[in-house]
Amino acid sequence: MQVVDFIAQYGAWSWIVAGLLLLGLELVLPGGVLVWLGAAALVTGVLSLSIAVFWPLQFVIFGALALVAIWLWLRVRGPGPVSDRPFLNQRAQRYVGREVVLDQPILDGVGRLSLDDTTWRVTGPDLAAGVRVRIVSAQGAELTVEAA
């Protein structure tokens, strides 16, 4: 209740100070949200200075302005950045579609394949070593192959 008492006592100036603090925090904790919360607090403070607004209504004005400002910002900003490396944490997925030569035979549907710097477990039809295969899917650290 100390915040309510503070706002009731200092009125519009408490909103202006809070807005400036939020804008200052945005410099330390960048992310874009605190800018809009700070702007909403500043507008609430200026509005409260220009016309007499009862303090509970000030909270409603701040909340509405903050929600609208953040919603508009998210709409204008659009989706986040698109990665130039979409398979960064899905290493096996980048091999799908690639054709390679088997190092070891696939027996009983299971074998091993050396690819780049890693030995992968492969599943598929029984094939001899030296056969050219195409990687058709990847699940975890297991590649599924078929004869190319």
Q: Is the pLDDT of residue 9 over 90?
A: no
CA 111 to chain centre: 37
Q: Is the pLDDT of residue 48 over 80?
A: yes
Task: Give the pLDDT confidence of 71-106 residue by residue, as tens digits.
Answer: 999 888 877 777 777 667 777 888 999 999 998 899
Q: How many CA atoms lie within 13 A of 17 on its CB side?
A: 8
Question: Which amino acid appears at position 130 of this protein?
Answer: G
| pTM (two decimals) | 0.54
In the chain, the percentage of residues whose pLDDT exceeds 90 is 53
Q: Is residue 12 part of a domain?
A: yes
Do residue 10 and residue 71 come from a single domain? Answer: yes
Q: What is the CATH number of the domain that holds 106?
A: 2.40.50.140
Higher pLDDT, 144 or 86: 144
Do residue 73 and residue 97 come from a single domain? Answer: no
d(CA 63, CA 80): 25
Q: Provide the domain limits for residue 110.
A: 91-147
Q: Is the pLDDT of residue 2 over 90?
A: no
Q: What is the pLDDT of residue 136?
A: 95
Do residue 95 and residue 140 come from a single domain? Answer: yes
**Residue 135's pLDDT band (cuts 50, 70, 90):** very high
